[in-house]
Structures are given as C-alpha cells and as structure tokens.
Structure 1
C-alpha cells in the first residue's frame, strides 16, 4: 500500500512529525483535541482501529496489559476492561500517569464492578478513584504494551511526539523486569501515519513495535530492530532527572546494583546559569563571545511555546548560543558563534514548519553586512531578570533564553 505521506531523503524525525501533523489537519482527519501538532493525534476512526486489538492472538491470552494514556487509545482501554468484566480471571490494565509523579498505575479489581455499571464519561473519575500506583519494586509481568505514535513504518520503527516518555516508560519496565524482548508492542494510528521512516533515524533508546492497528489494517511488522534493554542513561541528563523524580529512584537502584549510570552532558553552551542570593534562580549576564552572528526567525505562530521551538532547533542541529524570544511579535533571534555556524543553521531551518505555520529564517538585518557584537546596538539591551522571576521560561536545555516584549 502506497503511503499517503511521502518522506523525502534526509528528512529528520521533526520533519516527519510536521508532515504527519500538517496532513491530518489539512485533511480534517482529527477529533478533539485539536490542533494535533505536538500531540499524539486522536484521529477519526480511532475506535475502529482500537477494536482490532481483539483480533491479536496475544490479546486473547494476555493477563496484564499496559496502555498509554493518549485519547487515541481510549478504545483499547475499553476493550481490556470489557474483557476484564466478562472473565473470572480478568486481565489487569496498567496505564500511564503523570511521568513527573509516578511510573504507571494499575486498576484494582473493584474498578471492574464500577466500570460495568457506569457511563463512559465517568471512566476517568473511576480511574482516579480506583487506581493504585505501581512502584519500581512491584512484581509485574506485562504481556502486551500499547502505545500511541505520530508516525510508524511497516518495519516497526516508531516516532512519538518528541518527549520520549514511551521510550522511558518501556526502559523503566525493563529495569523492573515487567517486560522483556518477547513482550509484544502494538501501536494504533491512522492509515496516513504509516510512512517510510529511514532506518538511520532509529536510535538505541527508541521503542519499536510488533503490530500496527489502523482503521483498515492489522500490520505485523516482523520488526528486526531490538527493543531497548533498559534506560540508556547517557541519553539523559540531570535536567531530565529533576523533571521526572521516579528516574532518580531508578538510577539509585541501578547504581546500587553495580550498573553504569553515567548521565549524558547537558547541551553545550559557553554560558552558565547561576543562582542569585536568596535562593531564587535568575540569569546573570552570561558571557557571550566577543562577536556573534544572529539569525532572525519570523512567522512564529501564536501559542507556540519556547520549549517547542527549542526542540525543533535541537532536532535540526541548529541549537544557538542564545535565543531571544519575542513571541508577541511572532519572532525570535538566534545567536551563533560565527557566520559559518549561522549559515549552517539557516540551511537546516529552511522549510521549518511549526503548528502548521511556515517559519522564515534569514540573517538579521544588522548581520547582512557582517557580525554584530554580543549585545546588539540595534535592539534593546537584554533585560535583567528580577530575583523573584527567572528570565528563562523553561529549562529543557542549557540554551540561554531571553524574553522580550
């Protein structure tokens, strides 16, 4: 079957995400929530695709199922619970909760009675009332894992929305002994989300899938790529550990067991973040090189978050020394070490589209005749952050982010 979305040679993961998100929006293939950009798309026909899980032999034999919390997968969660109601030895359903608080939760047996007599709109309330946390020391053996995807190939290579939560959760379950190389992984997507993904885009921490369920097909991938064998700590850094406390518990356990838990470095930056007196974190006037070259980025859509732009810059290997954010004017300025670095960034940013809007990247006006100094005379001086309010709106990387009105 010819893919509806054609992927050009040299495309990055971010390029593929944008293509899929744009296609789904342009063709009105999505249900709430919208727009689908930066989400696992809740596509029209998702329930039809989810119901195909009952056609899988592993589903009929499973005793414990882990399902991601995406809206798209609601039909899979319902299917598991319907079976749970009708069987004396019902399968257990595990589902993701907030990654910053807990690994994943499980439903206690009494939930089945609640579900059998409640309307669907009370489902989430039932989850809140009857679910119990599952810790890292829980004796869990999951037979089937169901995840959402932004794109997937018939070879089983999967691309998520870019946060890496599905990969992390699977890695943690490996560390718990809850899954192994024989555990079946399924994803549910629209037919248009099945695309050609270059093999070289798959990384060692990426979760691959064994089955793809769409509204029209059940695809067995016969995936030849291995699944992650646990958390690959070098892919994480201290900022990620601070965001997800459960990782701090896991790294302590693995270090105690004698495993290598060396973390990766933070993104390179010549600047440092310091803490002001009084305990509140603020930005000092970080030292920039004597001269920098600035790229203007225009057409930034309303509602775009700084973190989303930073993710796109990282994936295109165009991370700047400093990002000056002027969201109200739908623009940003990116400082690079020299003209060569700026030219490479310009090339990488051509064709960049975020949330359905095409961005324009070009040398800033003050740069078209050469470099500018570390503090541009043509733009207002960088504001000093008040001690109670850091000027950096998010801390996903060590890139210096300056916000201006």
Structure 2
C-alpha cells in the first residue's frame, strides 16, 4: 500500500522540478551561489512590479512592523518598506544569528539601501540583533509577514520552500506572541512559480503538514491572488517532535527552550524544591535551560 505522505512528497518534487525548468529562465543569479536554488531564493526579472502590487494591499499600508524573510527576491521590498517608514524584522540566514530589526528612525537615509541588503543590515549603525526575550520585553508586534519561496500553488500553499525557514520563524514568534494567528502572510513570486496542480494532472496540495502556514495572498508581477480562509498554526514550537539538529543549529530555538524551562522553574517556585525541604540542586534539564538563556543573552549583547 502506498504511503500517502510519500505521494504528497512526490507531488511536491514533481512540481518543483517543472517550476525549476522555467524559473531558471527568469531568475537573477546570486553573486556567490549562482543558480543554486537550494541555497538561496532568487530575485527575478520584473520583481519590482510584484513589490508595487504588494504595496497596494491594505495589510501593507496599515502595517507598522513587517517580518520579511531573507530572500533575494525581497530586497526591493525591504528598501520600499524602510522608505515608507516601516520597521522591518529579518531572520538571518538559517536563523544562525537570530533576528535583525531594521528601524528607519535609527538609520540615516543614505544607509537605507545598505540596510535592505543581507550583507549590509548587520553592519554597525544599521540593524539591531534582537533576542526573542527582547522582542517580548519591548512589546514588538509583527503586523504583516512577507515571504519568498521557490514554488507555491494558487491556494497559497508553499510547495517548495527553499532555505527561508519561515515556518520555524512563525512558530518562534507565535510562541512569543510577536505574531498572531490572524497576522496576514503574503508570498512574492514570479508567475512561473505559482502553479495549479490540475495543469499537471495532480491532486491539489493542501496545508496539512504540522506547522504549515498558508498564505493569505500570492503576489506576482502580473496579478494578486487572494486566498480565503488561509490555514495557520495555532500553537508554537513543539520540542518533543523537533529535529535535534534544528535545536543544535538554530540559536532562537535554544533560547525558547531555555525560556520555557525557566518559566516552568518559576511556576514551580524554584528548582523543583519542596517548601519543607529547602532549595534543591537544579536537575540536568533545568540547568540546561538556564545555561541556554545565559548563552543566548551573552551572545546578543549590543
């Protein structure tokens, strides 16, 4: 009997293979990764038209703070948003250095273009690295998420994500109440990256994977697709099902693990101590949580 999950994966792979054949004709090469779409999400010809369409959406116009994934295709959006006076939150590559906040009020006008570049936003005087705890303490709230990607369907489901780790970013920020379940999500893509499965004789791919985020809009240079009833996760990170390698390689996940451990310790009134027995030595798991918080906070000092 064929595994449904295997068939689901095969459909995604088939679609991506066909999209790749077209995307290579329209994509702009990366200065270091050339056309290796497994390491970056490319910008594409006429992406400025897609950005202009996005900027007309009411959810963009009303947004104060926007989460923008670190994709080449969104470089012009980051610059446009900063010029429009909006704060831009960007996850670093593979989230290895967490998140960077770009505040146009703190960046001189002649440095805005530098701030929009992945290689420029972390330079002194440009962006500010933020921990999850700092976001919570400062009351940061994301009003809109904009993502790049390699392939989407017409229902706003990411068929092939690339390296952006948006679902991880959503789970982290939802856990810290930086994004809410109703926060709009917009995908920006070339028209060849947006597919209707029926054109390939395939069953529609739905947002059914754990933690999968369905987009409210898909914007291309030619049109804006609005999705009704987009599905978004209502829970944060589930560490019991998390790939151990992800925890090892993504500092914000380590920070969240530490925060949760500390919250549990505080809830229990000390390191699991019995009020009649006095304070006890922390357990190995509790000490791991404390160490994670200390390590993350030390690494993010500004």
* Superposition TM-score, scaled by structure 1 size: 0.54
> What's the Cα RMSD here?
2.8
2:229 & 2:129 partners in 1: Cα distance? Answer: 32
Q: CA deviation at 1:48?
A: 1.5
1:187 & 1:176 partners in 2: Cα distance? Answer: 23
Q: CA deviation at 1:121?
A: 9.4
State the partner residue of 2:92. 97
Q: CA deviation at 1:9?
A: 8.7
Contact residue 37 and residue 162 of structure 2 kept, 8 A: no
Q: 1:219 to 1:201 in 2, by over 3 A?
A: closer
1:113 & 1:235 partners in 2: Cα distance? Answer: 45
Is 1:206 the counterpart of 2:212? The answer is: yes
Query: Greater Rg, structure 1 or structure 2?
Result: 1
Q: CA deviation at 1:98?
A: 3.2
Q: CA deviation at 1:144?
A: 0.6
Q: 1:122 to 1:58 in 2, by over 3 A?
A: closer
Pairwise mapping of residues 4-403 of structure 1 onto structure 2 (< 5 A)? 11-25=10-24, 28-33=25-30, 34-38=34-38, 39-84=40-85, 91-108=86-103, 109-115=105-111, 124-125=119-120, 127-129=122-124, 130-137=126-133, 138=135, 139-163=139-163, 165-196=165-196, 198-200=204-206, 202-227=208-233, 229-258=235-264
2:114 & 2:250 partners in 1: Cα distance? Answer: 34
Q: 1:63 to 1:22 in 2, by over 3 A?
A: same
Q: 1:10 to 1:173 in 2, by over 3 A?
A: closer
Q: CA deviation at 1:161?
A: 3.4
Contact residue 157 and residue 206 of structure 2 kept, 8 A: no
Q: CA deviation at 1:202?
A: 3.3
Unaligned runs of 5+ in 1: 1-7, 85-90, 259-405
Which SS does the other structure have where 1:35 is aligned?
Answer: coil
Q: 1:164 to 1:83 in 2, by over 3 A?
A: closer
1:255 & 1:61 partners in 2: Cα distance? Answer: 36
Which SS does the other structure have where 1:199 is aligned?
Answer: coil
Q: CA deviation at 1:173?
A: 0.6
Q: CA deviation at 1:42?
A: 2.1
Contact residue 36 and residue 42 of structure 1 kept, 8 A: no
Contact residue 114 and residue 120 of structure 2 kept, 8 A: no
1:20 & 1:147 partners in 2: Cα distance? Answer: 18
Which SS does the other structure have where 2:26 is aligned?
Answer: coil
Q: Deviations over 1:299-343 (max 9, x none)?
A: xxxxxxxxxxxxxxxxxxxxxxxxxxxxxxxxxxxxxxxxxxxxx
* Paired residue total: 243
1:73 & 1:181 partners in 2: Cα distance? Answer: 23
Which SS does the other structure have where 1:145 is aligned?
Answer: strand
Contact residue 151 and residue 193 of structure 2 kept, 8 A: yes
2:206 & 2:118 partners in 1: Cα distance? Answer: 41
1:122 & 1:168 partners in 2: Cα distance? Answer: 22
Q: CA deviation at 1:220?
A: 0.8
Q: CA deviation at 1:237?
A: 2.1
- Of Structure 1 and Structure 2, which has the larger fraction of its residues in strand? 1
